Structure 1
Amino acid sequence: MATRKSIFITGGASGIGRAIALRFAREGWFIGLGDVNEGGMRETEALIGNGFTYAHVFDVRDREAWDVALEAFSMAAGGRIDVMANNAGIPLGGSLEENSVEEIERCLDINLKGAFFGAQAVMPHLMKTAPGSCLLNTASAAGLYGTGGASVYSATKFGVRALTESLDAEWAEHGIEVRSLMPSFIDTPLLDHSPNAKANEQIRQRVKDGGLEITPVEEVGEAAWRAVHGKELHVKVGKTAKSMAFAARWMPGRVRKMSRDNSRPLGR
């Protein structure tokens, strides 16, 4: 088994996945990238620039493809996977009645089913490098309290939160750590998308109109490093996420009122 530690990151072509890759590459880790966007992964590799990278094109909705991707990365990394960042995800906003069946199924399949498939597939690899290996799931501040105008997305992130907590219990006996990242709105290309097919407004503009904070993506990379090497189960990223976590615990009535007052769905 190689001595250089390795991390495999889905959604590694841009945004949070790229930020995690750059942060761990700075520490000398071997970086694995998984995404459907081959060009974006090549750009991430170029930014890392040290040659200790491996990119694999696959769809996280395909369970068999997970096995192929992780086995190929393990071989490239010298037989070890120390961390897997279950990060691939897509946004979906708008009221529930605005969301099409296709949009709902795609968001559930990528954000939630993909995370479960990834956890299931990577467990044998993480057992080889335990104790101290880690599954890092990207959840969201939307997994702290349901967000009006993003019910499907919120449901997927509550699911990722539940997956994290469940596997934290299940895998403790194997010495595998399980963590989640809970970022608020992060400055990534996803903010420049429309929240759904019927909307003509970018998510970024809706966030700005709401006076909400947009956190630099580099902060998520730093949070990922802290999560893997710390003890906190759910690592909140950005002022909005930290404030929401505090309020949801100590002032649930106020959070409910704010949610209702601000429930104009994204894209309206």
Structure 2
Amino acid sequence: MSNRKAIFITGGGSGIGRAVALYFGARDWFVGLGDVDQAGMDETAKLIGHGFTYSHKFDVRDRAAWDDALDAFSTAAGGRIDVVFNNAGVALGGALLDNSTGEIERCLDINLKGVLFGAQAAYPHLKKTAPGSCLLNTASAAGVYGTPGASVYSATKFGVRAITESLDAEWADDGIVVRSLMPSFIDTPLLDQAPNAQSNEGIRDRVIASGLEITPVEEVAKAAWEAVHSDRLHTLVGKSAKQMAFAARWLPGRLRKQNRESSRPLGK
């Protein structure tokens, strides 16, 4: 087994996945990238610079493809995987009645099933490098309290939070830790997409109009490193995420009122 630690990252072709890949790569880790975007992964590998990278194009919704990806990466990394970062995800916003069946199923399949499949595939590799190996999942501030205008997305991120808590207990005796990142709005290409097919207004515009801050993606990369190396189960990233967690715990009535008011059309 190689002495160089190894991390496999889904969604490694852009955004949070790319930032985390660069952060770990700069600290001499062997970095594996998984994505449906080969060009994006090629660019991430180029930015890392050194030769200790591996890319595997696959869809996280395909259970068998997960095994192929991790087996191949383990071989490339010298027989070890220390961290699997379940990061691939898609955004879906707007009123539930505006979300199509296809949009709902795609969000559930990628954000939730993809994480479950990734966990199943990761287990034998992480057990091999335990104790100290880690399954890291990307949840969201939307997994702290349900977000109006994002019911499906919130449901998936509450699910990721639950998966993290369940597996942290299930795998404790095996020496595998399970952690989640819970970021608020992060400066990634996802913010430039429309929340759903019926909307032509970018998510970034809505965030700015609401007066919410957009957190630099580098903060998530640093938080990912800290999450892997700490005992904290969930790591909140960004001012909005921390404020929401505080309000959900200590001011639930006020948070509920704010959510109701924010979902009303102007003038009502």
Q: Compute the displacement of 1:3 (Å).
A: 0.3
- State yes or no: 1:258 paired with 2:258: yes
Name structure 2 gaps, 5 residues minimum.
none
Cα distance in 2 for partners of 1:120, 1:28 equals: 27
Q: Percent identity?
A: 74
Provide the residue aligned with 1:206 in structure 2: 206
Cα distance in 2 for partners of 1:233, 1:27 equals: 23
Q: Which amino acid aligns with 1:48?
A: I
Q: Which amino acid aligns with 1:182?
A: M
Query: Structure 1-normalised TM-score?
Result: 0.98
Q: Compute the displacement of 1:26 (Å).
A: 1.1
CA contact 1:81–1:125 (8 Å) conserved in 2: yes
- State yes or no: 1:34 paired with 2:58: no
- State yes or no: 1:147 paired with 2:138: no
Cα distance in 2 for partners of 1:263, 1:7 equals: 40
Q: Compute the displacement of 1:262 (Å).
A: 1.0
Q: Which amino acid aligns with 2:225?
A: W
Cα distance in 2 for partners of 1:73, 1:80 equals: 8
Which aligned pairs between 1:15-94 and structure 2 lie closer than 5 A?
A: 15-94=15-94
CA contact 1:31–1:54 (8 Å) conserved in 2: yes
Secondary structure, aligned partner of 1:91: coil
Q: Deviations over 1:101-150 (max 9, x none)?
A: 00000000000000000001100000000000000000000000000000
Query: Structure 2-normalised TM-score?
Result: 0.98
Cα distance in 2 for partners of 1:107, 1:242 equals: 25
Q: Which amino acid aligns with 2:221?
A: G
Cα distance in 1 for partners of 2:173, 2:128 equals: 14
Q: Compute the displacement of 1:264 (Å).
A: 5.2
CA contact 1:148–1:264 (8 Å) conserved in 2: no
Cα distance in 2 for partners of 1:258, 1:9 equals: 36
Provide the residue aligned with 2:95 in structure 1: 95
Q: Deviations over 1:37-58 (max 9, x none)?
A: 0000000000001011000000
Secondary structure, aligned partner of 2:91: coil
Over the aligned positions, Cα root-mean-square deviation in angstroms equals 0.7
Cα distance in 2 for partners of 1:264, 1:115 equals: 33
- State yes or no: 1:8 paired with 2:8: yes
Secondary structure, aligned partner of 1:117: helix
Secondary structure, aligned partner of 1:177: strand
Provide the residue aligned with 2:227 in structure 1: 227
Q: Compute the displacement of 1:194 (Å).
A: 0.3
Q: Which amino acid aligns with 1:220?
A: V
- State yes or no: 1:192 paired with 2:192: yes
Q: Which amino acid aligns with 1:152?
A: V
| Over 3 Å off, 4+ runs | none
User: May I ask how many residue pairs the two structures share in their alignment?
Assistant: 265
Name structure 1 gaps, 5 residues minimum.
none
